[in-house]
Amino acid sequence: MERIVAYCGIICSDCPTLKATQMDDNAERKRVAELWTKQYGTEHKIEDINCDGCLSKGPRIYRYCGTCAIRKCGLERNVENCAYCQDYACEKLSKLFKEYKPAQEVLDKIRASRK
């Protein structure tokens, strides 16, 4: 699978929801739903485990991604991901980076390669 970098720098192509969707594998969807129900403390059903990735403009987006302010901003600004944004790193991203440093490392690397 080709590497897909979400607007925020998280690697979509590493996400088990995207993988289960691409494989159209209901057993994997069930496994992920059970895992995420346990991990996040909210119920996830098999039908929740459908996503074509953050960058997709189609209807199959994981429920959190459908409400993500970073994704919404990236779509509105029509950027490949936030590394290409003139306002990098904005307040929304900075908050994520405090919680998930690997996303910042990915986007910083992309920005550095553009110079």
pLDDT tens column, 1-10: 688 999 999 9
Q: How confident is the model at residue 115 (pLDDT cuts 50, 70, 90)?
A: low
12-56 pLDDT per residue, tens: 999 999 999 999 999 999 999 999 999 989 999 999 999 999 998
Mean pLDDT of the residues in the chain: 92
Burial 47-77 (b: 16+ CB within 10 A, else e): ebbbbbbbbeeeeebbeebeebebbebbeee
6 to 22, 27, 30, 76: CA distances (angstroms): 16, 25, 24, 14
Is 76 within a domain? yes
Count: domains in the chain: 1
Is 2 within a domain? no
Residue 103: domain span: 12-113
Is 40 within a domain? yes
